[in-house]
Amino acid sequence: MLLMKLRKTLKHAGDPVKAPVMQAYMKSAMPYHGVSAPQLRKICKTTFADLQFASRPDWQAQVLELWRNARFREERYAALYLAGHKRAQLFQTISTMKVYEELIVTGAWWDYVDHVASHRVGQILRNDPAPMRRKMLSWSKSNNLWKRRTAILCQLRFKTETDLDLLYACIEPSIGSQEFFLRKAIGWALRQYAWTDSAEIKRYVGLNGARLSGLSCREALKNID
């Protein structure tokens, strides 16, 4: 019922002219309704306003119902919005990582993965630092590139609270990778921390410049004079 209600609202708000343009830009096999990000946030806020979660499994089931049965990309974006619902804050612990692992592995594209990494996985790293640190170190060596990317990007919002040892350790297994999405993630993570400590990022890039890709180096130093 929740998905049907959401789909009906998104279809009514969608722009059939914009929809194929959005699909082409994202290189998505899944079609779009043609709903802009601000519109989608407003629709999600209204649609989910009265939702109550009896338990963690109840919340997880509702998130996964939207995700698994989505036929349009905005419906999966709505599942991500529901995952971060204010009434689900107490559920953001390492016990929830199986859900986020499914979203990451089955989503397998940067728009989904980057949101989950920086907003959801990052929050769980704050809440359960010791076990999550071990999990991110494990993910950094995964055969799945999106789990590797998540490990690299999960501290994007941490600023002065960034665990540099963890960041560098998660970068290390991918530092010589030829994969664009890993090279880009490394550069992005370093660039983000450069806003907090540019000297440290200069030092790291200087020390590892021969091993880092040109893309990673350019991204890392992009905003440093």
pLDDT in tens, 121-167: 999 999 999 999 999 999 999 999 999 999 999 999 999 999 999 99
Query: What is the pTM (predicted TM-score) of this model?
Result: 0.96
CB 143 within 8 A of CB 177: no
**Given a cut of 80, is residue 225 above it in pLDDT?**
no
Rounded CA separation 203/79 (Å): 40
- Please give the DSSP secondary-structure letter assigned to residue 166: H
pLDDT (tens digit per residue) in 209-222: 999 999 999 999 99
CB 75 within 8 A of CB 7: yes
CB 79 within 8 A of CB 63: yes
> Which residues 6+ apart lie within 8 Å of 152 measured at CB?
140, 167, 170, 171, 174, 182, 185, 186, 189
Question: What tokens does 153 get?
Answer: 């990007």
pLDDT band, residue 199 (cuts 50/70/90): very high
pLDDT (tens digit per residue) in 40-98: 999 999 999 999 999 999 999 999 999 999 999 999 999 999 999 999 999 999 999 99
Nearest to 205 by CA among 97, 182, 189: 189
Hey, what CATH topology would domain 2-161 get? Leucine-rich Repeat Variant (1.25.10)
Question: What tokens does 205 get?
Answer: 């890039």
Q: What count of residues does the chain have?
A: 225
